Amino acid sequence: MTRARVITIDGPSASGKGTVAARIAEALGFSLLDSGALYRVLGIAARKQQLSLHNHQQLARLAADLKIEFGISGPGSVQLNGEDVSQEIRTDAASKLASEVGAIPAVREALLQRQLAFRQPPGLVADGRDMGTVVFPDAELKIFLTASPEERAQRRYKQLIGKGIGAILPDLLRELKDRDERDSQRAVSPLKPAADAAILDTTKLTIDEVVARVLELAAVSMDDGTP
Ligand code: DC
Q: What is the pLDDT of residues 71-125, one digit of tens each?
A: 888 888 999 999 999 999 988 899 999 999 999 999 999 999 999 999 999 999 9
Under the banding of pLDDT at 50, 70 and 90, the label for residue 227 is low
Within 10 A of 225 (CB to CB), how many other CB atoms are there?
4
Q: State the pTM of this model.
A: 0.93
Percent of the chain with pLDDT over 70: 97
pLDDT at position 76: 83
Give yes or no for residue 205 having a pLDDT over 70: yes
Three-state secondary-structure class, residue 134: helix
Residue among 91, 130, 177, 183 whose CB has most ligand 1 atoms within 8 A, to mutate: 183
Task: Looking at the CA of residue 131, tell me the nearest atom of ligand 1.
Answer: 18
Query: 85: burial class by Cβ within 10 Å (0-12, 13-18, 19+)?
Result: buried
Query: 189 Cβ partners below 8 Å, 6+ apart?
Result: 108, 129, 130, 133, 134
pLDDT band, residue 223 (cuts 50/70/90):
confident
Mean pLDDT, the chain, whole residue set: 93
Q: What residue ranges define each of the domains in the chain, with the CATH number in brackets?
A: 5-222 (3.40.50.300)
Sign of the CA dihedral running 102, 108, 112, 113: negative
- DSSP-assigned beta bridge partners for residue 78: 70
* Ligand 1, atom nearest to 13 Cα: 3
**Residue 130 CA: which ligand 1 atom is closest?**
18
Question: What distance in Å separates the CA atoms of residue 27 and residue 124, rounded to the nearest whole number?
Answer: 12
User: Hey, whose CA ends up nearest to atom 11 of ligand 1?
Assistant: 99
Ligand 1 cavity residues, CB under 6 Å: 13, 35-36, 39-40, 95, 98-99, 102, 128-130, 179, 183
CA distance 70 to 36: 13
**Residue 149: closest CA among 203, 87, 191, 226:** 203
